[in-house]
Amino acid sequence: MAKYIVKRILLAIVTIWAVATLTFFLMNMVPGGPFLSEKAISPQATAALEAKYGLDKPMGQRYLTYMADALHGDFGDSLKQRGRTVMDIIKMKFPVSAKVGGVSVLVSLLLGIPLGCLAALKRGKTLDSIISVVATCGIAVPSFVICTVLMYFFGVKLKLLPTMGLTSLKHYVMPVMALSFYPTAYIMRLMRSSMLDVLGQDYMRTAKAKGVHGFKILFKHALRNAILPVITYVGPMLAYTVTGSFVVEKIFTIPGLGGEFIGAIQGRDYTLIMGTTIFLATLIIIMNVVVDICYKIVDPRIKLK
Amino acid sequence: MSKYLVDIQNERLSFFTPAGEVKALNDVSIHLEEGEVLGIVGESGSGKSVTAYSLMGLTAHPGKLLGGSLVFEDKHIENMTEKELRQIRGNDISIIFQDPMTSLNPVYTVGNQIMEAILLHTDKTKAQAKDRARELLELVGINEPDKRLKQYPHELSGGMRQRVMIAIALACEPKLLIADEPTTALDVTIQAQILELMMELKDKLGMAIIMITHDLGVVASMCDKIAVMYAGRIVEYGTTEDIFYRSSHMYTKGLIRSIPRLDTKEHERLVPIEGTPVDLLNPPAGCPFAPRCEACMKICLNQMPPKTEFDDVHYTNCWLIQKEEFEKGAQNE
């Protein structure tokens, strides 16, 4: 196990380096720059700004400087948000997104797993059909539609919930609903199909023949076998969700990290693009290791190599 | 008080599939005394397993019991609630399945799975259940039981897993053990070991066994009585001697002819039973074996053959035998 983790960490470093390198060159190849704007700035001012942030140097040299700084934990200043380092921005905004995202993942697990099991148990019955229809809707309807509809009904018509900000518990309700709709639907479908598979296995019959109670058969014997696909999905999904969603955060005016991903690219905020990309990549890699370890815990047949 | 441990009378059971009603069991009657070994033989789909499963209320959806009575220890299984059935399953009646590779839950240790059955049906504490599990592993001939208890099914061989299955089945000392082709998925040498073990345990614990198999060699060596099933019916029933030495139904004769014998000459071909089993979606009006029967008569195709009883135990359902017996009777008079 320890050997495995060391190996994964080494591999992670290589992966992060590759992601950083690719992102660096790709973003520099995109036309435009951080200091272009509709109001014409004098060429001298632009040159001075570029010199200040080292953008006047050739790409290769900038890459080496950036990597050397990043190795020391310095991800640079934001080019657009004056006076803030990239680290500051992530430190300030990530917790906001993480709170909303974390709650959403929890909600989607707590709803998706039981509903998926239920659909599998009631296969072919009305309840199964209802759950399937809801799941299909959840996957097909884009989040901006859900956000808008939620906002219209709960915010405008019923005036039950606040439509912007994140200052009280009530504020969480709509963003969490919007964020968890798709993952809930996806988990339901995964759970249903893998549960159906497991329910047909011989060891389920053995459990029944032993005289095990229906609920215990489901929770002890079936769930642990059926949950693997859900774990696979939830790992990366968690990484994406806690780093915030551009759409949901924009619509509900949540000061989270989601907006920064898009904002940084639109503004060619090179350092912030690098920072957020590396951050997300690292999270996903960590989650994948966590998923592998969870696998091992859930299914003893899996060997970590 | 019935003298039988198990008494199935005229059981009728169908599976209601989208394609229609599959008549899996038609008027099946079986009875079993305490400590007796009954073999049920027949080809795939003849209803062997369904008969035994229905005794535990394990008929899978969309199967439905349509008639008949299933009595176990004077209790009517067919009227039991799920809760009452759970108390019987794994406790009074246990089962060993065909494929030990898939019958154990892969994510729990062997110890956990044996202890589960013990904890369910007894008041034992966890520690006592563990002791009992260790004892059971020793009983079924597994070495190093302490180590095995902590192992997962995938760490054991097929033969060992089947021994574990037997240990689970015996956990609460059942009065009836159903063995559903317990050796089909095993190597020949392991087959012999498992069968030997089962017979040994039967003598030690005094339970009755229903042995479901299509291996006539197995029934010949183990069973007191044999029921030969075809297309959801019992075509012949009798003691092992009756079936092997005085077989009367053409299907039973065919089955016995199809086993290789020690005295066959080199390159001599085995005699198969020609044709394919009937479609239980549309069972024929007459004897279901008639289309494949060498001695088929006109009446066989149109009417169900009546029961011909040779003695208290041995009977068959065949028009030809009925006719022969009738003629014999006429001569005697």
Share of chain A above pLDDT 90, in %: 50
Q: Looking at residue B304, what DSSP letter applies? A: P
Distance CA B301, CA B305 (A): 10
Per-residue pLDDT, averaged over A45-57, amounts to 84
- ipTM (interface predicted TM): 0.85
Distance CA B120, CA B131 (A): 15
Topology of domain A95-257, per CATH? MetI-like fold (1.10.3720)
Nearest to A226 by CA among A294, A289, A299: A299
Q: How would you label B217-235 residue by residue, b for 16+ Cβ within 10 Å and e otherwise?
A: ebbbebbbbbbbbbbbbbb
Contacts of A300 in chain B (CB under 8 A): 106-107, 152, 154
Per-residue pLDDT, averaged over A142-162, amounts to 89
Q: How many CB atoms lie within 10 A of CB B248?
A: 21
Residue for token digits 């049920």?
A: B40
Amino acid B238: pLDDT: 93
B168 touches B117 (CB < 8 A):
yes
Checking if the pLDDT of A200 tops 60, the result is: yes
Q: Which amino acid is at B106?
A: P
Angle at B128 between CA B124 and CA B133, to 5 degrees: 105
Share of chain A above pLDDT 70, in %: 100
Contact B91 A211 (CB under 8 A): yes
Main-chain phi, psi angles of B71, to 5 degrees = -110, 130
Nearest CA in chain B to A223: B107
Main-chain phi, psi angles of A230, to 5 degrees = -65, -40
Q: At what angle do helices A2-29 and A270-298 cross, to 10 degrees?
A: 150
Residues B287-327 have pLDDT tens digits of: 889 888 888 888 888 888 988 889 888 999 999 988 888 88
Contacts of B104 in chain A (CB under 8 A): 203, 206
B84 touches B152 (CB < 8 A):
no
3-state DSSP call for residue B41? strand
Most confident of A54-68, A81-95, A104-118: A104-118
Checking if the pLDDT of A38 tops 80, the result is: no
A146 touches A245 (CB < 8 A):
no
Main-chain phi, psi angles of B197, to 5 degrees = -60, -45
Contacts of A120 in chain B (CB under 8 A): none
The whole-model pTM stands at: 0.83
Q: Alpha carbon B199 to chain centroid distance?
A: 15
Checking if the pLDDT of A43 tops 90, the result is: no
Distance CA A59, CA A39 (A): 27
Of A206, A210, A298, the CB nearest to B120: A210
Q: Where are the beta strands (DSSP E) in chain B?
A: 6-17, 20-32, 37-41, 63-72, 75-76, 93-96, 176-180, 208-213, 225-230, 233-239, 307-309, 315-317
Of B56, B89, B152, the CB nearest to A300: B152
Distance CA B244, CA A64 (A): 89
Per-residue pLDDT, averaged over A236-256, amounts to 89
Main-chain phi, psi angles of B209, to 5 degrees = -130, 135
Distance CA A80, CA A294 (A): 41
Amino acid A226: pLDDT: 94
Please enumerate in sequence order all residues whose Cβ is within 8 A of that of A232, keeping only pairs 6 or more positions apart, or say none. Answer: A291
Residue A133 pLDDT grade (very low, low, confident, very high; cuts 50, 70, 90): very high
A270 touches A27 (CB < 8 A):
yes
CA distance B154 to chain A (A): 7
Contact A209 B82 (CB under 8 A): no
Q: Alpha carbon A146 to chain centroid distance?
A: 18
Main-chain phi, psi angles of A60, to 5 degrees = -60, -45
Q: At what angle do helices B126-139 and B158-170 cross, to 10 degrees?
A: 130
pLDDT along chain B (333 residues), means of 10: 83 90 89 91 88 87 86 89 90 90 93 93 93 92 92 92 92 91 84 88 90 87 92 92 90 87 79 83 86 88 89 90 83 65
B240 touches B295 (CB < 8 A):
no
In chain B, which residues touch A (CB < 8 A)?
Answer: 56, 58, 82, 85-91, 94-95, 97, 99, 102-108, 116-117, 120-121, 152, 154, 165, 168
> CB burial class (10 A; 0-12, 13-18, 19+) of residue B26?
buried
Contact A211 B86 (CB under 8 A): yes
What's the Cα-to-Cα distance from A2 to each of A8, A192, B325, rounded to whole Å?
10, 35, 79
